[in-house]
Structure 1
């Protein structure tokens, strides 16, 4: 049932619903849903199953056909009568989400705002494919980016420029522009047989698809699989490491490494000891 607030506005909680599987929402996020008086979820990207913990009488609305102004107005209205209002956003609210655009009108209306992080589709995609985005002596850098479409990229952030680092790239919102992705990788010096993984609807029960290919083949493979939406593109020198016969191991767990929880059991060899 609703928790009424007659004296002051309630709080709007921007909750990361995670990548798709309702069980990947955080414990805190689920707790907020369980006591919410109103929930606004992004139905085009968030499974309605994520609202299944809502209490009886909770007002639940889908924002997929709303404008930004309509969403802000809805949240402000609900905060005027409920202590707890939840805006369920896909993945993590701070990553490719309309967080600040929605927060500013709430600030202007004097409505309190809190944010609960969520599991990003980048992390869920790597997990689905059993891949590590970083490996010792391979790459220690992960870049979250997208290809320029309706939203232009800031100067210096073209995919070709970012790909020139030859680190891990998690490319959001770009599956329909996969040809431009592979062209940018090629222009940045990635070989035609460099591995690329595309994960469609990572973690969505019964809907997840994993496509493995190379810079040269991934576009055709995705076309054959009819992958045209809600997909993460991962290009990384770490892909496929599960099958490597030679793998540099983490120094943190090396028998010659000393840190504040464990002393080295064998002498260090050309190793500078550090305390993490």
Structure 2
């Protein structure tokens, strides 16, 4: 059996209880070494075989899984955050289907949630934005043309941009071609929830400069939108003038 497990954004205590228990009982762990906090490996048994997938190809990962499964061992494939975002799990699952190896998937706390916590922010503020766009810049890995940054920025919604901290000049220029202005609030969140977490707030027009000034060029999310500002509308859910299924209006 192969268990895909989301490791959470970084802090060892932000892995789920289920994920932690799977690590404790695993015979083999294959972890995304470029992003997963290695402190999580302290949950593994001493006799657990541990592989760093940052140094492996897909074929090598599958070879380890196939050999471990044939030996009756339990395998954990440990991905950063939640593996449904930029985790490259579909290709692994399809290959396991072809090999007739069973698997399941345990979700984790995504780094975009960790970043919101780091800025003490709410992505979906009433009257500001009710939509969150999670995306990335095109780089060595392309994105569909219809999903280019400028096209998505036209909505003016909250944006959380992964895997783009090394391209801040181009990202800034693309965002400013959309609905945002140079004064739109932005933030760089480096290693959300790790001990070395760093949050840099700035106007969008100074995003690239802020990245250079603080030495942030990788392992960071870019947050953009007016949810980072101070103005918003009160939620109807707790408004005394608003009736719900559970409460009558009192004013």
Interval of TM-score (by shorter of Structure 1 and Structure 2) = over 0.9
- Matched residue, 1:224: 213
The equivalences for 1:180-259 within 5 A come to 180-205=170-195, 207-241=196-230, 244=231, 247-259=232-244
For structure 2, which runs of at least 5 residues remain unmatched after alignment?
A: none
SS state at 2:217 partner: coil
Q: Which residue of structure 1 lines up, in the alignment, with residue 69 of structure 2? A: 79
In structure 2, what is the Cα distance between the partners aligned to 1:53 and 1:233?
31
C-alpha distance in 2 between matches for 1:121 and 1:39: 21
Q: Distance in 2 between matches of 1:153 and 1:14?
A: 25
Matches within 5 A, 1:33-52: 33-52=23-42
Instruction: Give the distance between the partners of 2:229 and 2:64, measured in 1 at CA.
Output: 46
Deviation per residue, 1:34-70 (Å, 9 max, x gap)? 1111111111110111121112311112111101110
Please, which of 92, 101, 115 is the counterpart of residue 125 of structure 1?
A: 115
Is this contact kept in 2: 1:131–1:240, CA < 8 A? no
Does structure 1 conserve the Cα–Cα contact (< 8 Å) formed by 2:133 and 2:159?
yes
Structure 1 distance, partners of 2:57, 2:76, is: 17
Question: For residues 227-267 of structure 1, what are the alpha-carbon distances to aligned partners after superposition, in whole Å with 9 as ceiling and x for unaligned?
Answer: 111010000111033xx4xx41110111122222222222x
Name stretches of at least 5 consecutive residues in structure 1 with no aligned partner.
Answer: 1-10, 267-276
| 1:81 positional shift | 2.2
Find the aligned partners of 1:106 and 1:70 in 2 and give their Cα distance. 13
**Structure 2 counterpart of 1:28:** 18
Query: 2:44 matched to 1:54?
Result: yes
Tell me, what secondary structure is at the counterpart of 1:217? helix
Contact 1:37 1:82 in 2 (8 A): no
Q: Deviations over 1:103-136 (max 9, x none)?
A: 1221111110101111111110111111111100
Equivalent of 1:66, from 43, 56, 75?
56
User: Displaced runs of 4+ in structure 1, greater than 6 A?
Assistant: none
* Distance in 2, Cα, partners of 1:79 & 1:152: 34
CA-based RMSD: 1.2
CA contact (8 A) 1:168 1:238 kept: yes
Whether the 8 Å contact between 2:28 and 2:73 is mirrored in structure 1 is no
Question: TM-score, normalised on structure 1?
Answer: 0.88
Structure with the largest fraction of helix: 2
What are the Cα deviations for residues 199-244 of structure 1, in whole angstroms up to 9, with x where unaligned?
A: 0111112x11111111111211110111111010000111033xx4
Q: Which residue of 2 aligns with 1:273?
A: none
What residue number does 1:88 align with? 78
Offset at 1:83?
4.4
Mark the structure with the bigger radius of gyration: 1
| 1:41–1:61 CA contact under 8 A, matched in 2 | yes
